[in-house]
Copies of this chain bind each other. A is one copy, B any other.
Amino acid sequence: MNASTESALLLATERRARYAAVRAHSEALAEPLSAEDQCIQSMPDASPTKWHLAHTSWFFETLLLKPHAPGYRTPHPAYASLFNSYYEQLGPRHPRPQRGLITRPDLAEVRAYRAHVDAAMDALLAGPLDAERAFLVELGLHHEQQHQELLQTDILHALSMNPLRPAALPQAPRAAAAGQPFAWIEQAGGEAWIGHAGPGFAYDNESPRHPLRLQPYRLGNRLVTQGEYQAFIAEGGYRRPAFWLSDGWATVQAQGWTAPAYWLPEGADGQPEGIYTLRGVEPFRPEAPVLHLSFYEAAAYAEWAGARLPTEAEWEAAATGPQAAALHQLHGVAWQWTRSSYDPYPGYRPWAGAVGEYNGKFMVSQLVLRGSSLATPPGHARDSYRNFFPPAARWQFSGLRLAQDA
């Protein structure tokens, strides 16, 4: 990406304010959580809150402060490996499944680490930045925003293990219902361009923008609801293999799935007795979007419904196309599973250097999700955004929108 032209236009004061705002949002998210809450890890794929707070600081420290801020000193040399997530080029890493055992540095020390990094960053941002550094600052902020969402999905999973069903973040937003009756929105297909068109920041995996051919298709005007999904369950959705991909059916049986993640058991009325959320247990709302589905479940539901999942190209073309206004809930409610494996775009090249590990090395055995969720921070969503997770993942705010061949 060419971040140079735009970054040159940003005044240092704007830059410092933006940095401060993004960083403060992470801390505000974590604020309701105790030191204990912030320490634990409930599965290898999820990380402790404290680790998210530290890792995002490590990112700025490692990519900007250590190479570019003369005289910068880290609070502790061990943070280099403790808070490295997966960058092979940036040295050894603490084993991922053991992140929840790091009680020291404690939360106060991690907060001090953030403040230490922030002070040094503020000094760096006050001066002139060349294009590469400006790009890395921008990347660091987008990276932090990604972790702001993960922080929420991970603490939801962690506290879901507690039989007391505590509210992790009582002020977290609820997933809004669309309010519209279902309708198909026709899309003409034909030649379409997808990928980031600029200006503004985008990840490397959204490039290069490129043309492709689409057949005519249609998309649901809104996301699938809890009530619709409950009908699938009531018709034996989790008991009939015909709806499922082979791996999906094996997962259903191995994991004993009978409903989306976080649904409480069914009550006498055949509906779940509630749904565990960041706000604690909330009532089942038939008109609200269903969340916390795996790709397997999303695809099985679509099969049952006589439809299919959209491809990522179909999603993006529609979202940027003339009928987009009829498509509700494209953003801010739930990530939407697509039928597209996470493959590189034609001509894709990872960023140079260590940040080249950000996206490219994960391009296998994952599926693309499009849109954004209720937990996506303001300013982070894009129509060209390619989120990706393995097909069995359900702890994200992931739902689905139906598609059909026209």
User: Is B40 a contact of A100 with CB atoms below 8 Å?
Assistant: yes
User: Is B364 a contact of A86 with CB atoms below 8 Å?
Assistant: no
Looking at the assembled complex, report how far the CB atom of A246 sits from the nearest CB atom of chain B, in whole angstroms: 4
A339 within 8 A of B: yes
Complex Cα distance A27/B391, Å? 40
Known: A94-B163, A339-B344. A213 touches B213 (CB 8 A): yes
A163, A212, A299 — most chain B CB neighbours (10 Å): A163
User: Is A343 a contact of B347 with CB atoms below 8 Å?
Assistant: no
A36, A88, A98, A344 — most chain B CB neighbours (10 Å): A36
Q: Which of B104, B191, B249, B405 contacts A162 (CB 8 A)?
A: B104
A164 within 8 A of B: yes
Looking at the assembled complex, report how far the CB atom of A343 sits from the nearest CB atom of chain B, in whole angstroms: 5
Chain B residues with CB under 8 Å of A78's CB are 163-164
Chain B residues with CB under 8 Å of A343's CB are 311, 339-341
The closest CB in chain B to the CB of A101 belongs to B161
Complex Cα distance A365/B366, Å? 7
The closest CB in chain B to the CB of A240 belongs to B88
Q: Which of B37, B101, B362 contacts A103 (CB 8 A)?
A: B37
Chain B residues with CB under 8 Å of A247's CB are 362, 364-365
Complex Cα distance A78/B163, Å? 8
Complex Cα distance A344/B89, Å? 36
Complex Cα distance A391/B343, Å? 13
Chain B residues with CB under 8 Å of A212's CB are 212-213
User: Is B344 a contact of A245 with CB atoms below 8 Å?
Assistant: no
Q: Which of B36, B94, B213 contacts A107 (CB 8 A)?
A: B36
The closest CB in chain B to the CB of A155 belongs to B103
Chain B residues with CB under 8 Å of A202's CB are none
A302 within 8 A of B: no
User: Is B106 a contact of A214 with CB atoms below 8 Å?
Assistant: no
Chain B residues with CB under 8 Å of A362's CB are 245-247
Q: List 13 A-B contacts (CB under 8 A).
A: A36-B39, A36-B103, A36-B104, A36-B106, A42-B101, A94-B163, A104-B162, A210-B213, A212-B212, A215-B346, A215-B347, A245-B362, A341-B343
A interface vs B, CB < 8 Å? 34-37, 39-40, 42, 76, 78, 81-82, 86, 88-89, 94, 98, 100-107, 158-159, 161-164, 166, 191, 210-215, 241-242, 244-249, 295-296, 299, 311, 339-344, 346-347, 361-365, 367, 391, 405
4 cross-chain pairs, A with B, having the tightest CB-CB distances, nearest first: A341-B341, A36-B103, A88-B241, A101-B161
Please name 14 further chain A to chain B contacts, defined as beta carbons within 8 Å, in addition to the given A36-B106, A245-B361, sorted by A numbering: A34-B106, A36-B104, A39-B39, A40-B40, A40-B101, A42-B101, A88-B241, A101-B158, A101-B161, A103-B159, A103-B162, A215-B346, A249-B361, A341-B364
